[in-house]
Amino acid sequence: MASDPRELPEIIQDSEKGGLGERMGVEWLDVTPARVVARLPVAGNTQPFGLLHGGASAVLAEATGSVLANLNAGAGRYAVGIELSCSHHRSAREGFATATAVPLSLGRTLITSSISVSDDDGRLLCSARLTCFVKDA
């Protein structure tokens, strides 16, 4: 799926208008209930030493995991993040960080996703887990 906003699910179109993901340069690459993939540029999302900021990886992980949870929440329901855990394995100075979120557990009230954030060479930068609480709209 291209990152053209007209091609994205409504959930992303609405959430990206002036949001953090838009300011960080998040591009949505694949958005399905089985897998959500997005990336952001390292440039502009670094800490003072020129490395990808760990918080940028966390934002990307939470964004992809939240979209995945909402796509699986069911009609008339929505999901909100309640716990995010990130382990940072290596750094990046250039290119893109790409997150891939897949479901670990799709329950009635809790949805947990596993998210891998990798560099352009496919090396793991960060592994994350997001748990979302599913509520009635």
Q: What is the CATH number of the domain that holds 103?
A: 3.10.129.10
More confident residue, 6 or 72: 72
Which residue bears the tokens 């940072």?
A: 88
For 44, the 3-state DSSP assignment is coil
Cα(117)–Cα(128) distance, integer angstroms: 8
Q: Is the pLDDT of residue 31 over 50?
A: yes
The whole-number pLDDT of residue 107 equals: 97
Radius of gyration of the chain (CA): 14
pLDDT digits (tens, 9 = 90+) for 57-111: 999 999 999 999 999 999 999 999 999 999 999 999 999 999 999 999 999 999 9
Which of 104, 109, 98, 106 has the alpha carbon at shortest distance from 85?
104
Confidence of residue 19 (pLDDT cuts 50, 70, 90): confident
Residue 75, domain extent:
5-136
| DSSP H or E stretch at residue 13 | helix 10-16
pTM of the model: 0.90
Enzyme catalytic residues: 62
Specify the pLDDT at position 5: 41
Confidence band (pLDDT; 50, 70, 90) for 14?
Answer: low
How many domains does the chain contain in total?
Answer: 1
Q: Which two structure tokens, joined as six digits, stand for 84?
A: 């995010």
Name the least confident of 19-28, 44-53, 85-94, 104-113.
19-28
Supply the pLDDT for residue 4.
Answer: 43
